[in-house]
A and B are shown apart, each in its own frame.
Chain A
Amino acid sequence: MPASRWEAVLAGEGGQGLVVGGVILGEAAVEEGLQAVQSQWVLGSAARGSLSRSEVVVSAGEIAFPRVLRARALIALSPEALKRHLGLLAPGTLVIVDSDRVPEPADLDPGMDVRSLPILREAESLGLGRSVNVLALGVLVGLTGVVRPGSVRTVLARRFGDKAGPNLRAFRAGMELAAGSSSPPSSSGQARP
């Protein structure tokens, strides 16, 4: 396994739980013996309703610089979440956007691997609105394989205990959404670090 860095940004609105989503991803990586660093940008009045961001760096080797410079994957559950992070994207970056909330980003580099999926609608329809973060994480893990699904399930069970059920269901729903994703599979966002 190469020691290269794998960097991702999970962004949306405060209250969607994406900071915790990033924490779960990082903990799942650590579960596999990898190194992971998570940081967040969600403070004060931004905590509810405005932009919220979780940055995750995963590597088999030492992680020195803790922040994201070139995202291999971005989750954007709000228009602002996409707009604010365009500078972190590179050709081949996997860009997962909510198909209802985020309009087709016209100015996005054609080299991006964009997947527009009904993440929020899916969560609501399953009665899992409060687990939309974990559903989005399921999409990310399903499309990239950055960590094994079992590692995420282990972290969910540990973190939520006997309340883990909805989150485990949300994670599976996200994985299924990823599997049914219509875009051609891409090698770009994939590959474990």
Chain B
Amino acid sequence: MQGNEAVLEGALAAGARFYAGYPITPSSEIAELASRRLPALGGVFIQMEDEIGSMAALVGASLAGAKAFTATSGPGFSLMQENIGLAVMLETPCVVIDVMRSGPSTGLATKPAQADVMQARWGTHGDHPAVALVPASVSECFWLTVAAFNLAERMRTPVFVLSDEILGHMRERAELPDADEVEVWERPRPSGDPEGYHPYRPGPDGVPPLASFGGPYVFHATSSMHDERGVSANDAATAGATIARLEAKVENLRHLLPSPEVVRSGPWSEVSGGDRSGGRVGAGKRSRGPARVLLVAFGSSARSARQVMLDHTDMDLTLFRPRTLWPFPEDELRALVHDHDVVVVVEMNRGQLVREVERVVGGGRPVVSAAKSDGEIITPGEIWDSLVEPVSGGISREPGLSPLP
């Protein structure tokens, strides 16, 4: 199964029944499959005039009660940003799949990149939360798309899945579950007297219940700052509290986000079985060995980084692979940093995630960027080359560092 196919299957399994989009390489298979599958399920597929309209349609469909999604690539993601802000402000659940390609602009239409890291975080203006999931296998394309819908519903906010050309067009073994094996979450719904319904009065975790347009709960939805009733309000207290709550509701539910994968290899994994405390024991026994390297990589770059580990089993290497890119899993990364000597950030862009990693590491360890941005996949050999200098060039907690074998 292809990565793009798995995304579509994940969306359907999660209950998606509305797609509005404008086809773009390398995401078009998702639109093509959605156009075939959704009508048979009683859903709606609309090929829109552009990505601006697509995103607007998602917001409307979501307010009407549908689980709505679209798929695009960098240029289309750019056009969607205005209405992504609308979705944030109206607190409408929806999912945007961005199968990343090389830019800027239409750039290299058929070639991969991971250069939308910061567009996913800050593409739309104003203070706002961002939730972005990053699969690294065809199987994860399915599961993280399911998670994206669940989180969007649970948090009442747009959620992004950042795939890329390599993953989208790659086929590999993936065993998908039966529909009844997939856990599906629904948005919080109001109950009680429709007259007293406040569409923006937060529940205990900051998420307000959402009624569907067309039902007994009548409410006003505006992109301008509004109070709990959805009525425009310009006062500082309302604005400050609303802006803070939009971020706080995501933070409050952070424990629901897919957790990073941590894989250790090399001599210490044999000593320790790979767990953290054992890792320290293993490192202590080999005080004059080469530096212990923490690789940070996501998506298809993580597969290249993992290959480095498979090719160099004599090195102490750890892969930290976020499945959730935003909010960045900073506590989990920070917990790993102390028993490594150098952090290497692998990404297919000019170095976007590395700045976030530097912020988290906070100067405690050297952070090296293994970044590549030319439309071609980053290879294990290129990552290895970027490791050689820091590993053999004197970055080590212990004196007497050995050169690489």
Q: State yes or no: do A and B come from one complex.
A: yes
Q: What is A's interface to B at a CB cutoff of 8 Å?
A: 23, 26, 30, 35-40, 43-44, 62-67, 69
B25 at the A interface (CB under 8 A): yes
Q: How far is the CA of A135 from the CA of B324 in the complex (A)?
A: 44
Is A40 in contact with B306, judged by CB distance below 8 angstroms? no
Write out the residue numbers on chain B whose beta carbons fall within 8 Å of the beta carbon of A23.
Answer: 171
Nearest first, the 5 closest Cβ-Cβ pairs linking A and B are A65-B307, A64-B306, A64-B307, A43-B110, A38-B171
A-B residue pairs in contact (CB < 8 Å), sample of 17: A23-B171, A26-B171, A30-B173, A35-B173, A36-B172, A36-B173, A37-B170, A38-B172, A40-B169, A62-B306, A64-B309, A65-B306, A65-B307, A65-B380, A66-B300, A67-B166, A69-B381
Write out the residue numbers on chain B whose beta carbons fall within 8 Å of the beta carbon of A43.
Answer: 25-26, 109-110
Write out the residue numbers on chain B whose beta carbons fall within 8 Å of the beta carbon of A69.
Answer: 379-381
Q: Shortest Cβ distance from A19 into chain B, in angstroms?
A: 10
Q: How far is the CA of A23 from the CA of B170 in the complex (A)?
A: 10
Known: A35-B173, A44-B25. A64 touches B109 (CB 8 A): no
Q: Shortest Cβ distance from B23 into chain A, in angstroms?
A: 12
B365 at the A interface (CB under 8 A): no
Q: How far is the CA of A37 from the CA of B1 in the complex (A)?
A: 10
For chain B, residues 10 to 28, give those with C-beta under 8 angstroms from any C-beta of chain A. 25-26
Is B377 in contact with A67, judged by CB distance below 8 angstroms? yes
0 or 1 for each of B357-379: is its CB under 8 Å from A? (1 = yes)? 00000000000000000000101
Write out the residue numbers on chain B whose beta carbons fall within 8 Å of the beta carbon of A63.
Answer: 172
For chain B, residues 157 to 172, give those with C-beta under 8 angstroms from any C-beta of chain A. 166, 169-172
Considering only CB atoms, which chain A residue lies closest to B109 in the complex?
A: A44
0 or 1 for each of B80-109: is its CB under 8 Å from A? (1 = yes)? 000000000000000000000000000001
Q: Shortest Cβ distance from B70 into chain A, in angstroms?
A: 21
In addition to A38-B172, A67-B377, 12 A-B residue pairs with Cβ atoms within 8 Å of each other are A36-B173, A37-B170, A37-B171, A38-B170, A38-B171, A43-B26, A44-B25, A63-B172, A64-B310, A65-B307, A66-B303, A69-B379
State which of A30, A44, A66 has its C-beta within 8 Å of the C-beta of B170: A66
Q: How far is the CA of A39 from the CA of B310 in the complex (A)?
A: 21
B304 at the A interface (CB under 8 A): yes
- By secondary structure, the A interface counts as mixed
Residue of B25, B172, B307 with most partner-chain A CB within 10 A: B172
Known: A35-B172, A38-B171, A44-B110. A64 touches B166 (CB 8 A): no
Write out the residue numbers on chain A whose beta carbons fall within 8 Å of the beta carbon of B169.
Answer: 39-40
Write out the residue numbers on chain B whose beta carbons fall within 8 Å of the beta carbon of A36.
Answer: 172-173
Write out the residue numbers on chain A whose beta carbons fall within 8 Å of the beta carbon of B307.
Answer: 64-65
Considering only CB atoms, which chain B residue lies closest to A43 in the complex?
A: B110
Q: How far is the CA of A82 from the CA of B356 in the complex (A)?
A: 43
Write out the residue numbers on chain A whose beta carbons fall within 8 Å of the beta carbon of B110.
Answer: 43-44
Q: Shortest Cβ distance from A5 into chain B, in angstroms?
A: 9
Q: How far is the CA of A62 from the CA of B307 in the complex (A)?
A: 9
Considering only CB atoms, which chain A residue lies closest to B306 in the complex?
A: A64
Considering only CB atoms, which chain B residue lies closest to A67 in the complex?
A: B377
Write out the residue numbers on chain B whose beta carbons fall within 8 Å of the beta carbon of A38.
Answer: 170-172
Q: How far is the CA of A37 from the CA of B136 in the complex (A)?
A: 13
Write out the residue numbers on chain A whose beta carbons fall within 8 Å of the beta carbon of B381.
Answer: 69
Write out the residue numbers on chain B whose beta carbons fall within 8 Å of the beta carbon of A39.
Answer: 166, 169-171
State which of B172, B306, B310 has its C-beta within 8 Å of the C-beta of A37: B172
Q: Shortest Cβ distance from A178 into chain B, in angstroms?
A: 25
Q: How far is the CA of A47 from the CA of B303 in the complex (A)?
A: 28
Q: How far is the CA of A64 from the CA of B310 in the complex (A)?
A: 8
Write out the residue numbers on chain B whose beta carbons fall within 8 Å of the beta carbon of A66.
Answer: 166, 170, 172, 300, 303
Residue of B26, B170, B300, B377 with most partner-chain A CB within 10 A: B170
For chain B, residues 292 to 320, give those with C-beta under 8 angstroms from any C-beta of chain A. 300, 303-304, 306-307, 309-310
For chain B, residues 172 to 189, give those with C-beta under 8 angstroms from any C-beta of chain A. 172-173
For chain B, residues 341 to 399, give those with C-beta under 8 angstroms from any C-beta of chain A. 377, 379-381
Write out the residue numbers on chain A whose beta carbons fall within 8 Å of the beta carbon of B309.
Answer: 64
Q: How far is the CA of A37 from the CA of B300 in the complex (A)?
A: 13
Q: How far is the CA of A44 from the CA of B26 in the complex (A)?
A: 10
Q: How far is the CA of A64 from the CA of B306 in the complex (A)?
A: 6
Q: Shortest Cβ distance from B208 into chain A, in angstroms?
A: 43
Q: How far is the CA of A43 from the CA of B168 in the complex (A)?
A: 13
Residue of B110, B170, B171, B300 with most partner-chain A CB within 10 A: B171
Residue of B26, B303, B377 with most partner-chain A CB within 10 A: B303
For chain B, residues 262 to 315, give those with C-beta under 8 angstroms from any C-beta of chain A. 300, 303-304, 306-307, 309-310
Write out the residue numbers on chain A whose beta carbons fall within 8 Å of the beta carbon of B310.
Answer: 62, 64
Write out the residue numbers on chain B whose beta carbons fall within 8 Å of the beta carbon of A44.
Answer: 25, 109-110
Write out the residue numbers on chain B whose beta carbons fall within 8 Å of the beta carbon of A62.
Answer: 306, 310
Write out the residue numbers on chain A whose beta carbons fall within 8 Å of the beta carbon of B170.
Answer: 37-39, 66
Considering only CB atoms, which chain A residue lies closest to B300 in the complex?
A: A66
Is B303 in contact with A64, judged by CB distance below 8 angstroms? yes
Considering only CB atoms, which chain B residue lies closest to A26 in the complex?
A: B171
Write out the residue numbers on chain A whose beta carbons fall within 8 Å of the beta carbon of B26.
Answer: 43
